[in-house]
Amino acid sequence: MENSRLQDDLLREFREEKEMIATQLDKLVPLGVALRKPVAARVLNKIVLLVTELLCYCASLGSIVFAVFRDRIYPFYILSRLRLHPETSGFSKVEVEYLYWSTAVMAALVAFLFIVIGRCLNRIRRKNAILQMAGNDVKTIVGEHLKRKAALDAIDQRHFGILDPLPAPDVVAVMNQGY
């Protein structure tokens, strides 16, 4: 009696494990396919993201340098001259002062925006690396599940095929054509 309940429990557990592996494979295989990407595309993406991130940081630094040295750069040195002698331009001193400082504020704003873009590219690059690692892990898990499923199928065919024989197909009598 004990042996029969143990056998029933083991059979039930075997069938549940088989169903669980099948449902997990149904979920993991599409995920693995979605995460899989050619290596060349990943490397190219990584290089493009890294170069673009570095260019954003350099552009941000360039904007800051521009704000500091705008009095010595060709078209903007006129603003410093106008600032010193506003009466020769026909504008008021306040308007020239606003124009002078607005270039510094715009340069600082551009620098800030380039820093934000660079940080976003950095996050994208790190998330791509995480997705690549997740794709490799999902691929490994799917492989292990497939091995386990094959082992369960072999056990199922070996033991349950004997216990539950397949019904014989309907055989239609075919006359021997050579007779």
167 lies in some domain: no
Phi-psi region of 90 (alpha: psi -120 to 50; beta: other; left: phi over 0): left
User: CA angle at residue 118 from 114 to 120, to 5 degrees?
Assistant: 115
Average pLDDT over residues 19-34: 85
Let me know if residue 80 belongs to a domain: yes
Give the tens place of pLDDT for each residue, 108-133: 999 999 999 999 999 988 888 888 88
Other C-beta atoms closer than 10 Å to the C-beta of 90 total: 7
With respect to residue 21, please indicate whether it lies within any of the assigned structural domains.
Answer: yes
pTM: 0.67
- Residue 179 is predicted with a pLDDT of 47
Residue 38, pLDDT score: 63
In angstroms, the first-to-last Cα distance of the chain is 58
Residue 151: pLDDT band by 50, 70, 90 thresholds? confident
With a cut of 60, say whether residue 7 has pLDDT above it: yes
Number of H helices, E strands in the chain: 5, 0
Query: Which residue, chain included where needed, has tokens 């290596």?
Result: 39
Mean pLDDT of the residues in the chain: 83
Torsion, Cα 97 98 103 108, to 10 degrees, reads 110
Question: Does 173 fall in a domain?
Answer: no
Residue 63 lies in a domain: yes
Residue 56 lies in a domain: yes
Domain of residue 81 covers 11-156
Specify if 163 maps to a domain. Answer: no
The tally of domains found in the chain comes to 1
Tell whether 5 is covered by a domain: no
